[in-house]
A = this chain, B = another copy of it.
């Protein structure tokens, strides 16, 4: 086994004849559920970063696992690349088609197959979105907590190991999937687990496919864990003199065993954006948004305990409420962080990225990044899932300004190196996609990458599944 490259592992572009054969066969077989128009193809090879759009040769909309297996079998016979597509809300170039291929859009596989209220689980198609799922669950008093912000598809959330604001209490996708049905690159249908809450029967294939970014197979059905909607929810917002003070308050909150459901940091620049966009009227200092789930007494107690903790660190006053409309306004502002950021620099583009470090290093990492941002001269507000040590920033740059463009990539590389030097990871939840392939060799040893490539090679020997993503070449 050899060491790693900074270039992505990929396969060869198939011959024009092979591409033509696959496109013709799929067009005939799927009729208006296949499309080769340029606009549709480009929309499916588009990514919300500065990465250029790279369109597939055809987009096809299967409706069943068997149809997915049929498409994959055809592609395998012609060594044709396959790119699975959920809602296209990923941020690191997961759906680009750098050497063309077949985009399998799973949005029509959006059936909620079963809800097992007694077992607190459900079975869904990969095209079900999290909002669609939660609307259906609400009547039964249940919810699915993972919330990456965008109304992403459950299949895409599995594929990128998504998490979001609720992860501090409910975990990430890796903690909330019981079982998957996957079509592997040879066209076989694999069930990775049962509906039992836990199992020690063999290798954890479920967790292997979670976060595999479409490079090992196509997820066609998901069994998810569910939760009862809490009897009561309280939440609020709290200002702090510094990022460090806010982070220290979070550490003590978690150490104290307060089961905080959400705890989100916004830095002073992001608060300015909130004020501009959502009229929050906050002092322009770092803030924490928090939410507590429990019984009525429980959420009151949690909020009071938290209120005492924040004063120890010069924060506060902590204003909290159990009124749904006030909480909703607050969290809508938090969820609009991406859109709000543009108010800081109208006309700019953004590149949104994330890293994650041990929580004890978070303040240091954020503050060093703020200094770096200031030196770069490109505004970049920061928000963080601070309970997990995970933070995001959006660099607001003008792509026509070559001097600015030249600063973006080195800045992003410094950000990743800073996180890695603090025992962190180059991505807490966005995933690798195309953009972070070059950091995989910084984060993982050659031995670890050899195992990943070995697994890829044995499951996808032709290398047709989402080529050019996640793994660096050897």
Q: Do A202 and B429 touch across chains, with their CB atoms under 8 A apart? A: no
A244 interface residue per 8 A CB criterion: no
CB neighbours of A403 from chain B (8 A)? none
Q: Which of B205, B297, B298, B388 contacts A198 (CB 8 A)?
A: B388
Q: Which of A72-80, A253-261, A315-323 contacts B (4 or more CB under 8 A)?
A: A253-261
Bound: A255/B230 CA distance, A: 10
Q: Which of A16-24, A48-56, A112-120 contacts B (4 or more CB under 8 A)?
A: A112-120
A379 interface residue per 8 A CB criterion: no
Q: Which of B211, B259, B420 contacts A204 (CB 8 A)?
A: B211
Bound: A376/B458 CA distance, A: 45
User: Closest approach, in angstroms, between the C-beta of A353 and any C-beta of chain B?
Assistant: 12
Bound: A257/B259 CA distance, A: 13
Q: Do B458 and A454 touch across chains, with their CB atoms under 8 A apart? A: yes
The listed residue with most B CB atoms (<10 A of its CB), out of A116, A119, A198, is A198
A329 interface residue per 8 A CB criterion: no
Considering only residues 89-142 of chain A, those with a C-beta below 8 Å from chain B are 116-121, 141
Q: Do A116 and B358 touch across chains, with their CB atoms under 8 A apart? A: yes
A201 interface residue per 8 A CB criterion: yes
A295 interface residue per 8 A CB criterion: yes
Q: Do A196 and B357 touch across chains, with their CB atoms under 8 A apart? A: yes
CB neighbours of A196 from chain B (8 A)? 356-358, 388-390, 419, 423-425, 428
Bound: A68/B405 CA distance, A: 49
Considering only residues 265-310 of chain A, those with a C-beta below 8 Å from chain B are 293-295, 297-298, 301, 305
Q: Do A198 and B259 touch across chains, with their CB atoms under 8 A apart? A: no
Q: Do B389 and A358 touch across chains, with their CB atoms under 8 A apart? A: no
Q: Do B301 and A255 touch across chains, with their CB atoms under 8 A apart? A: no
The listed residue with most B CB atoms (<10 A of its CB), out of A428, A430, A432, is A428
A194 interface residue per 8 A CB criterion: yes
CB neighbours of A162 from chain B (8 A)? 200
Considering only residues 132-190 of chain A, those with a C-beta below 8 Å from chain B are 141, 160-163, 167, 171-172, 174-175, 184, 186, 188-190
Q: Do A200 and B428 touch across chains, with their CB atoms under 8 A apart? A: yes
Bound: A450/B228 CA distance, A: 37
User: Closest approach, in angstroms, between the C-beta of A212 and any C-beta of chain B?
Assistant: 6
CB-nearest residue of chain B to A436: B201
Q: Do B197 and A359 touch across chains, with their CB atoms under 8 A apart? A: yes
User: Per-residue CB proximity of A423-447 to B under 8 Å, as 1/0?
Assistant: 1111111111000100110011101
Q: Do B198 and A167 touch across chains, with their CB atoms under 8 A apart? A: yes
Q: Do A189 and B447 touch across chains, with their CB atoms under 8 A apart? A: yes
User: Closest approach, in angstroms, between the C-beta of A94 and any C-beta of chain B?
Assistant: 11
Q: Take A207-B208, A256-B228, A458-B458 as given contacts and tell me if A451 and B198 are in contact as well, using a CB distance cutoff of 8 Å.
A: no
CB neighbours of A443 from chain B (8 A)? 194, 201-202
Q: Do B357 and A198 touch across chains, with their CB atoms under 8 A apart? A: no
User: Closest approach, in angstroms, between the C-beta of A169 and any C-beta of chain B?
Assistant: 10
| A–B pairs, 15, beta carbons within 8 Å | A118-B360, A171-B175, A184-B447, A196-B423, A200-B429, A201-B427, A201-B440, A202-B443, A202-B452, A203-B451, A227-B257, A295-B305, A298-B301, A455-B458, A458-B458
Q: Can you list the 7 inter-chain pairs with the closest CB atoms, starting with the nearest?
A: A207-B207, A199-B425, A118-B360, A454-B458, A196-B356, A195-B423, A188-B447
Task: A161-B198, A171-B175 are known; give 19 further A-B pairs, CB within 8 A.
Answer: A119-B358, A162-B200, A188-B450, A192-B448, A194-B420, A194-B425, A196-B424, A197-B359, A197-B428, A198-B356, A199-B428, A201-B432, A202-B449, A203-B208, A204-B210, A207-B208, A295-B305, A297-B301, A451-B458
